[in-house]
Amino acid sequence: MAGLTAGAPTPQAITVHGASRVLEVTFSDGAAFRIPFELMRVYSPSAEVQGHGPGQEVLQTGKRDVTLVSLEPVGNYAVKPTFSDGHDSGIFSWDYLYQLGREEAALWNDYAARLAAAGVDRDAPMAAKPAGGHAHGHGCGGGH
């Protein structure tokens, strides 16, 4: 579970800016970030986005205009956003929000590279999920 690293900065203020679609977070060490909702959605720490292991990540597209419908606290260590596209399974720890803010430029570059490698546009609609959640049916073995 992505929790709080001992001695890590904690949020002092969190503000949702709906019109500009950013989450403003000010941390105890003085750092302040304006994290775009799209970046949060594309890098959601959920299994739906991250997969169940290295190489299992699901490239997210069509998220430029996503908004936050709600932002719920999770204990004293995280928030759980509900996005306008229905995604609500990502739990963003304080550490992870700090990382998103601190590494925003590198993350955008990584996202652009992954889009280019996949030959898809940032605004392309997400492909429909196959029935059962796996393209290969049961077992995910693929070969017959």
Long-range contacts of 66-74 (CB under 8 A, 24+ apart): 66/21, 66/37, 66/38, 66/41, 67/18, 67/21, 67/37, 68/16, 68/18, 68/23, 68/37, 71/14, 71/16, 71/23
The band of 127, judged by pLDDT with boundaries at 50, 70 and 90, is confident
Q: How confident is the model at residue 141 (pLDDT cuts 50, 70, 90)?
A: very low
Residue 7, pLDDT score: 78
Residue 143 is predicted with a pLDDT of 39
Per-residue pLDDT tens digits for 30-46 = 999 999 999 999 999 99
Which pLDDT tens digit goes with each residue over 75-123?
999 999 999 999 999 999 999 999 999 999 999 999 999 999 999 999 9
